[in-house]
Amino acid sequence: MRIACSSLAFSQRPFEDACHRIARLGFRYVDVAVMQGWAHFDASDLVERFDEELERAQKALERAGLTPVALNASAGTSEVGPESERFAAICRFARALRAPVICYVAPLAVVGMERAVRRYERLRDIAQEHGVLLAVEAHARTMLEIPELAVEFCERLESVYLTLDPSHMYAGENQGAPYEILFPYVRHTHWRDAGTDWSQAQVNVGEGVVDFEYALRGLRAAGYEGAYSVEYIDTFPNGGVQNIQAMKTLLEELLVEIAQEEF
């Protein structure tokens, strides 16, 4: 099993320091944030000075002994020209870091399915040119927070997949209703506990309503082979080392228990 930590756990720290802290918590894998205007790399900087930013990332990862499992990315725009250029740079970055998956921001519901499909067809083609998978996050307060719409999105877009964060299936409009129809489309995952509205999108492990066993068993049954990224964000309430460690331990215990039942 590959249990990673999102670099957003230390979004206010430089990337090298974030990697060092993640490694000290016992992780060998990292989910690297490429969030325009936030952390830890800007897509616009990748366009303008790719080699410099790549070297910065590679040195930090090597010093910490971390392997990327994905990029958690946003280009900061949906305008066709700028987004295409920035997304191509994100894909180059992923390939150079040997991160097999790009978790990308989901379309807003107001956009409508037809416009969303056209946009993500373009992004899918760019990702395929660079040999990486595009896994759009089924995120609360977007079109993909509704499982049926997320499935329609993937079925309309061959070779576009999902990133699943079960917390969004509870803190968003789905409100904890069954969402196993998503599992066959999932290629990356994020993990944290949550309540039943966006003000409780990140709560202490064990104090929320997320059924982690349901999600893990469903993913296993669907043949999921990707990573499990702990995503407790430091700028949200209840971020911090204690919840990162608790989520890591819970995932390890549940994954071992589920695997042992098969023998």
**What's the pLDDT tens digit per position in 149-176?**
999 999 999 999 999 999 999 999 999 9
In Å, how far are 41, 43, 218 from 17, measured between CA atoms? 14, 20, 35
Structure confidence by residue, pLDDT tens digits, 180-236:
999 999 999 999 999 999 999 999 999 999 999 999 999 999 999 999 999 999 999
Helix axes 113-130, 147-156, angle to 10 degrees: 60
Prediction pTM value = 0.96
Neighbours of 61 (CB within 10 A): 20
Q: What percent of the chain has pLDDT over 90?
A: 98
Give the residue extent of every domain in the chain. Answer: 3-260
Structure confidence by residue, pLDDT tens digits, 48-86:
999 999 999 999 999 999 999 999 999 999 999 999 999
181: left (phi over 0), alpha (psi -120 to 50) or beta: alpha
Residues 6 or more apart in contact with residue 126 via CB below 8 angstroms: 84, 87, 88, 91
Most distant pair of Cα atoms in the chain: their distance: 52
Question: What is the CATH T-level fold of the domain 3-260, as seen in this structure?
Answer: TIM Barrel (3.20.20)
Question: Quick one: average pLDDT of 32-37?
Answer: 98
What is the rounded distance in angstroms from the CA atom of residue 135 to the CA atom of residue 118?
A: 16
Nearest to 157, CA basis, from 89, 91, 107, 219: 107
User: Under a CB-based contact definition with an 8 Å cutoff, are residues 224 and 262 in contact?
Assistant: no
pLDDT range class, residue 262, cuts 50, 70, 90: confident
Burial state string for 112-130 with b = 16 or more CB within 10 A and e = fewer than 16 = eeeebbebbeebbebbeeb
